[in-house]
Structure 1
């Protein structure tokens, strides 16, 4: 790994070092997080890379080879895969989803029932379009939201289980039996929409989703350590993963040495299934920053990336006005949503330093990234603790990174 002098990238080295001290003292030494790894780059040049904490219980420290479950940071990759098919003329943003997934031809919207009582429903006001999957306005939900009778039905049917009974086709068929939370385009709800998008990519391309990712994105970008399954010869690099229990505190969720990610999943989750490294995801971010290209490999066209990173919420609204979600990987005020990314649409409303047009997302295990096309800055942050909403670490990281700009 090559790193550049921070000052040559327009950063104050002392202020970047202060971020490491904050992470080490406030989060790792205190036991809040098991580890922390931060990569900050400008124009694709790595200006700062730091790691603190152990990769596994009483094990070696995390380093640049450590593998992390990136969860919903899978979503932008799935969105890029879909837009590659748009560029090929095989599908469009306004294509009705049921044209590709005919299982969805008779979807309806929840009106009442559930919890043992048959659902009552009403027809969709508008058909679900591909753009609704990309911007989370499709009407789907997540079972873990624990908010409605619809998400309760997701839990009962184990809709989101990666090692359950469903492959992508079975997942679509099971989802088609349940009502939507709302008519497509009328609200925003964090959901399995990107998993559905992965099914679309698989159907349209005629390739299994993991193979499409590997051949069309990861190989050209040199993302050699990214995939749905950790190979046997790399399992020793996979970090332990934790969840937070209100009584016990941090408890083991998935042990690296015996991880569920060491087995091929039944459901290839375009919404959250990938494992990666900070350096691999940095390459993905740099491709986006460069307008779709990296080291001679063209993944997307420049204007396609520009389209993806505009606010696509109806009426140019923000999540504060449109979100019905109990949880998402973004703050709501001033935040729009594009085609696979949250969009910083009004910096003042976010109350965090940043740039209009900056785009980002995170994962449930507290990983995060952002791409700022104005300042030409990218960040990748890795750790392994769920839920990601537990601590304000993303806000603190952004504030301190922007404060380090000269």
Structure 2
């Protein structure tokens, strides 16, 4: 028997399908004449259409179930990749099982039914790629022979889109184990984020500082040497102390004949060249003449290195580039004329009296930092306003004022000190730099 479908039946099926597709109440309001039509052909057609309608309904429900499950699995895999990346400072080549254990823990914590399908290094930068899978039991499509299906998700997390400047105290009190351990920790972090054989968008720079900062030639159109606070070059500075003068470290007089800037390594602009930045870091020895710890100058020039505007222009102008200052110092802010083991008993040259505003006012700059403390906080704020994060590491026996100031310099989240670290011993510095590395690698790359 052949059933001829009336326009009423056609309209009924169309309305049912529309209802199933849209899942909107308005689309499911059937005209009264469709519901009250009692012709037999309609009943037969609807009966024949029931399996199709059930299948469509099952497809809709199970599709929603699969979509929800995949979203949940992707979130779990993202968390697993991020957890694994946190352990890269301690397992950089993923050979110790530390990265895998962290990834599995977070995958199972967020999706207990999921399994780790694969784990390996990302193709760019130092990173970890996690792939997970899970079986999803279907509800209505089981009647059509589709009882379950396997879903997968993948994520990569690690170090990329980073520009980092080390701002390292090179004053005399850092000589020996402190500067040696700082150099080693810095090189380890560079090797972590710039692995050999991988090209990535990671660049690193260096700003060694004492009472001043040494700038290479032609960066700002001026000769190599120290800069005054306003950025100008002192043409009267001949890079040499008066040879008749003396300094007295630890109470013994020593003749000084080297230049005022020669003991400070030059500031290094951002570079992809791992070997050049490692060499620059390892050249730091904190053996320069006289001293001082003018942290504001280190922060100021680090900001110049990271921003794309002159005098340094290697910094990226992309919004997704994360810009970082890692500051390490062991001293109060002072200029070398306020006493201490590396004090100077004279004014060496014109530069020394023009290093920053207020320097000759002994009461304002020697009393617990004075104008130098405020200059440090001002420069830190300028860096933060430029979108730069500051990690502040205070090495040595810090008094409460130093700790408070360094916490203000750091870019910690409200209510935390997550960007401030205290290193009582030089042998704590490497572990602290690893902890900073964990924060730098906490980033999804896909």
Fold equivalence (TM over 0.5):
no
Highest CA radius of gyration, 1 or 2?
A: 2
TM-score, length-scaled by structure 1: 0.25
TM-score, length-scaled by structure 2: 0.23
Structure number with higher relative contact order (C-alpha < 8 Å, ≥ 6 residues apart): 1
